[in-house]
Amino acid sequence: MTAYTVHELTVPATMDDDPVAVQAFRDWLRVSDAAEVAVHGLTELSWRPEEYLPLCHEPGAPSRLFVVRDDAGTVVASGSYDTKQDPSTPNCWLAVGVAPEHQRRGVGTLLADHLEALARAEGRTQWKTYAVSRQVGPGVGPGYLPAPTGAGAVPEDEAGVRFLTGRGWRFGQVNRISRLALPADPSVVRELHDRAMAAAGPDHRVHTWTGRTPERWLDDLAVLQTRMSTDAPDGDMEEPEDVWTADRLRAHEDELARAPRTMLTVAVEHVPTAALVGFTQLAVPHDDGRAVMQWDTLVLREHRGHRLGWLLKVVGIETVERDFPGRPSIVTFNAEENRPMLDVNEAVGFVGVGSEGIWERRVSLGAAPAAGS
């Protein structure tokens, strides 16, 4: 019988670091991607190691990465353990992916047990994981587990769903993975742009930049980043406030600048107060054969209702097409209950291509873990 063992990686600082550490990181990413692609089939979402590595070096909260090796030393599963900068938060984020050809042999259980034990040992009581699912259309019925938000569901027959349910995790929310094939229909984008501009009126002004945030907007962007943790829909799985300062933002930007992607930011200023009140960020690959990833999009709660989300979205598309032509698509993740954002996505031509279930487990540290958990 094969013996499987869990190993924590020494995450390389750069891709030119110690070759053994770099190879282990490459193996980690390959297996992690393979486990997800086997579920949703979206090869466009696979990462290049150079792109992903900077994401593991969040200043003050670096990712811890783990692999399971078989007795020949082959990596058969990948896992991660993340926390936030504030050490007092009870939250942590876990992930487990098993190479498709090694599933159903107890490897996922071995790795999940290891990560959960680590979370307990660190005193974390609120655990979260993101598990991809195949695309789920609207109006699903039997055979699907509905989200408690009332929007979206995940297929009950998926390995990840069975695995997490069996381990006592609670399904909380669905993200829709949407894809816009580029170029988008220019007349549709233009019309949406005009409508959004009319609704936003003279009190709002759009700014775009690439790379480092201009000094003038640094504090404002830190506020917007902080509010991502409190103003974005999170079902009933409360996220702690994750405070961003100008210094943290700069350190983060410098880390991301090492990836072969250009960060395009579109922000909207509320002219009467000269403050930014919304933003979206798109990670544009240097390789023009790869998809653009649209990351955070947020309009502050108190500034909603002026179609600023629409404005950010369409200006982002127009800027990508004008300044970075040739990319095949933009891919984005949105909460299935976030109707305003899904409305603009659908209007502009994004189509659903996959889903992501968000799961939570709350534990009490006093109690001994139940069998199998």
Residue from the set 22, 39, 119, 293 that interacts with ligand COA by CB under 6 A:
39
Per-residue x/- marks for ligand COA, 258-277, CB under 6 A? --------------------
Helices (H), 180-295: 186-200, 218-231, 246-256
Per CB under 6 A, 109 contacts ligand COA = yes
Strands 75-82 and 91-98: antiparallel
Q: Which stretch binds ligand COA (CB under 6 A): 103-111, 215-223, 251-259, 262-270?
A: 103-111
Helix (H/G/I), strand (E/B), else coil: 20: helix
Nearest approach, Cβ of 70 to ligand COA (angstroms)?
12
Q: Cis bond leading into 183, ω under 30°?
A: yes
Q: Quote the crossing angle between the two packed helices 339-348 and 186-200, to the nearest 10°.
A: 140
Nearest approach, Cβ of 349 to ligand COA (angstroms)?
29
| Long-range contacts, 54-63 (Cβ 8 Å, 24+) | 54/255, 54/256, 54/258, 54/259, 55/256, 55/259, 56/11, 57/11, 57/13, 57/255, 58/82, 58/85, 58/252, 58/255, 59/85, 59/248, 59/251, 59/252, 59/255, 60/85, 60/248, 61/85, 62/11, 63/11
Nearest approach, Cβ of 284 to ligand COA (angstroms)?
27
- The DSSP 8-state label assigned to residue 38 in this structure reads H
Q: Which is nearer to ligand COA, 114 or 270 (CB)?
A: 114
Q: Which stretch binds ligand COA (CB under 6 A): 105-113, 137-145, 185-193, 224-232?
A: 105-113
Q: Which is nearer to ligand COA, 171 or 217 (CB)?
A: 171
- Give the whole-angstrom CA distance, residue 59 versus residue 48: 21
Per-residue x/- marks for ligand COA, 110-139, CB under 6 A? -------------------x-x--------
The answer to whether 354 touches 135, Cβ cutoff 8 Å, is: yes
Nearest approach, Cβ of 106 to ligand COA (angstroms)?
5
Per CB under 6 A, 228 contacts ligand COA = no
Per-residue x/- marks for ligand COA, 154-173, CB under 6 A? -----xx-xxx-x-------
Number of residues in contact with ligand COA, rule: CB under 6 A? Answer: 22
- Give the whole-angstrom CA distance, residue 186 versus residue 180: 13
Q: Which stretch binds ligand COA (CB under 6 A): 104-112, 174-182, 265-273, 323-331?
A: 104-112
Q: Which is nearer to ligand COA, 74 or 103 (CB)?
A: 103
Nearest approach, Cβ of 129 to ligand COA (angstroms)?
4
What string of DSSP letters covers 193-218?
HHHHHHHH-TTEEEEEEESSPPGGGH
Q: Which amino acid belongs to residue 354?
A: G
The answer to whether 252 touches 59, Cβ cutoff 8 Å, is: yes
- Give the whole-angstrom CA distance, residue 51 versus residue 42: 17
Helix (H/G/I), strand (E/B), else coil: 352: strand
Residue from the set 24, 29, 65, 95 that interacts with ligand COA by CB under 6 A:
95
Residue from the set 9, 22, 29, 35 that interacts with ligand COA by CB under 6 A:
35
Per CB under 6 A, 352 contacts ligand COA = no
- Summarize as ranges the residues that interact with ligand COA (CB under 6 A): 35-36, 39, 95-98, 103-109, 129, 131, 159-160, 162-164, 166
